[in-house]
Structure 1
Amino acid sequence: MHFPSPNNVEDWMTTGGYVLLFALLFACGLGLPLPEDIPLIAAGALIATGKMHLAIAAVVAWCGIIGGDCVLYHLGRRFGLGITKVPFVGKHVTVERIERVERLFDRYGFGVICIGRMVAGVRGAMVVAAGAIRYPFTVFVLADGVGAIISGGFFMFIGHWLGKNLDEEKIRRFKFWFLAAALVGAALFIIWIWRNHKKHQLMEFEKIGPPHGPPPQPPEPPMSGQADSLR
């Protein structure tokens, strides 16, 4: 599928301003076939050229991202796996993806949201799965918000750094390294969870002792007096 380039979106946002930035990111959260990093990179470029204010753009972008995710979360909560039959949303979120993310939720919880929202193709399924399994909404917003600050800030930084020269090859390289860093972070998080789980198991084992109790002791030999009485 061919997506508009950051240069195209930058031209649109020069006219549409903050309203268009919010609308695009909100719609991306609902399944608009446009990677959310493109409006974020375009916003960063507009900040670099003085056409947008950093603080306002950052707040508007964050609200657009989280707003779309919250709507998708509640759709997942309302329809469960049936959301895959909802027009527009179901086209991009499959049952297989939702079930895969649910298994990750069972094992890793909070971290899945932070890291999952940084990975295109996982993001929508992660949000729907959170709603479908009725993951606590407050915790979801907190984790999703942290992930949005990290990923959104990174892509706006790319746009700001490149300024007027939004070279698509450079953007692809940056996105590759960002995804690689996110995957390394996910691997480290999983290792940390696994080690803590093993440590907890060891502590529980030491607390309750071996599962079958202490090994049987051989019977003590009878005292000399007892031996005489048995004769």
Structure 2
Amino acid sequence: MSTLLELLQQYGLLIIFANVLLEQLGLPLPAYPTLLLSGVLIANGQYSLGTLLAVAVIAALIADSIWYMAGRKYGKKVMGKLCKISLSPDTCVRQTESLYLKLGPPALLVCKFIPGFASISSALAGSSGTRYLVFVIMDGLGAALWAGTALWLGNLFSSAIDELMSTLVQMGKWGTLLVLALLAAFIAYKWWDRQRFIKSLRMARISIEELNEMLDKGAAPVILDTRAPHLVDDGWIPGAQFITLEDVDNLVLDIDADAPVVLYCSCPNEVTAAKVAKKLINRGYRNIRPLSGGIDAWRDAGYIISLPPAKDVNV
């Protein structure tokens, strides 16, 4: 632990830059504790607040700009990839989209305070066409607010943090092991939480081949598109009805309880479709299946997509 403190004292700027950069790129390496410890260095007069803050903001902007460019180039697909590699539950895509669509670029001011949302919000800014200058301003202010809060708290409670660190130093290798154990526990908890969430939504899926065969035979089931309204213009499966997670309780299906119903979305692990399916199953509908791979798998396979009247073509 004393070695860690010495490293932070000697290479504080480099450590902060690397930690913030890696966390904002998506690695489960929380930078907030490092920033809190760095606040103690401000109280000790080893670094200035402005210098540490500038390093943290620059690191965040570099990482976030990478995700912004990825979102601009690859669109909403990059958010699905982000959520698959993230330790946060897959609802992060939908929640971040909802926040960003409600607030617009100002959502970047608070996204860094929500675990797992920073990278996704940056990619969403790129995919939604937010101008890069606006993105840099809002993201930079958000990074300054996030990092500045940690540095200020570290400075404010420097005495208490100093005592805690002194205790860990006195513990020697056990203090280091304790810190490592806490970090491992954090990562393990996030992984377990994700697995528990995915397990709660497990149910039988229908493949895109099966659904296409049913459509070709004229035996189409009830098809429900569960995506957010702003995604519908990208195209939908022919014959689909549109229903959001928020409106499903008011949905009335004029069908038998055993009639087939297929739901799809454009999120990792068919999260939204599965959540809507759970609600319908609880209301007594028994033959409910999300579409494996969602609309993205359907489109990638080259099956027919319906578009708004001005764009109605086959792909």
TM-score, length basis structure 1: 0.60
Match of 2:26 among 25, 31, 34: 31
Q: Which residue in the other structure is 1:72 paired with?
A: 67
Q: Which residue in the other structure is 1:101 paired with?
A: 96
1:1-231 aligned within 5 A: 10-83=5-78, 90-92=85-87, 96-166=91-161
Distance 1:133 1:81 in 2: 9
1:109 CA drift (Å): 0.7
1:82 CA drift (Å): 3.2
Q: Note the alpha carbon deviations across 1:123-145, whole angstroms, 9 max, x for none.
A: 22212211222322111111111
Give the 3-state SS of the residue equivalent to 2:47 in structure 1: coil
Indicate the structure with greater helix content: 1
Q: Which residue in the other structure is 1:188 paired with?
A: none
Give the 3-state SS of the residue equivalent to 2:113 in structure 1: coil
Distance 1:89 1:26, change over 3 A: farther
**Letter paired with 1:63:** I
Is the 8 Å Cα contact of residues 83 and 89 (structure 1) preserved in structure 2? no
Distance 2:39 2:53 in 1: 9
Give the 3-state SS of the residue equivalent to 2:110 in structure 1: helix
Q: Note the alpha carbon deviations across 1:105-136, whole angstroms, 9 max, x for none.
A: 33321322212232223222212211222322
1:49 CA drift (Å): 1.6
**Letter paired with 1:38:** P
Is the 8 Å Cα contact of residues 86 and 116 (structure 2) preserved in structure 1? no
Is the 8 Å Cα contact of residues 80 and 93 (structure 2) preserved in structure 1? no
Distance 1:153 1:108 in 2: 22
Q: Which has the higher contact order (CA 8 A, sep 6+)?
A: 1
1:41 CA drift (Å): 0.8
Is the 8 Å Cα contact of residues 79 and 124 (structure 2) preserved in structure 1? no
Distance 1:61 1:68, change over 3 A: same
Give the 3-state SS of the residue equivalent to 1:135 in structure 2: coil
TM-score, length basis structure 2: 0.45
**Letter paired with 1:101:** T
Distance 2:64 2:52 in 1: 18
Distance 1:141 1:74, change over 3 A: same
Distance 1:100 1:163, change over 3 A: closer
Give the 3-state SS of the residue equivalent to 1:165 in structure 2: helix
Identity within the alignment, % = 23
Query: Unpaired runs of 5+ in structure 1?
Result: 169-231
Distance 2:28 2:51 in 1: 25
Distance 1:109 1:87 in 2: 20
Is the 8 Å Cα contact of residues 75 and 83 (structure 1) preserved in structure 2? yes
Query: Unpaired runs of 5+ in structure 2?
Result: 166-315
1:25 CA drift (Å): 0.8
Q: Which residue in the other structure is 2:268 paired with?
A: none
**Letter paired with 1:83:** V
Give the 3-state SS of the residue equivalent to 1:125 in structure 2: helix
1:15 CA drift (Å): 3.5
1:165 CA drift (Å): 2.9
Give the 3-state SS of the residue equivalent to 1:50 in structure 2: coil
Is the radius of gyration larger for structure 1 or structure 2?
1
Distance 1:59 1:9, change over 3 A: farther
Is the 8 Å Cα contact of residues 21 and 62 (structure 2) preserved in structure 1? yes
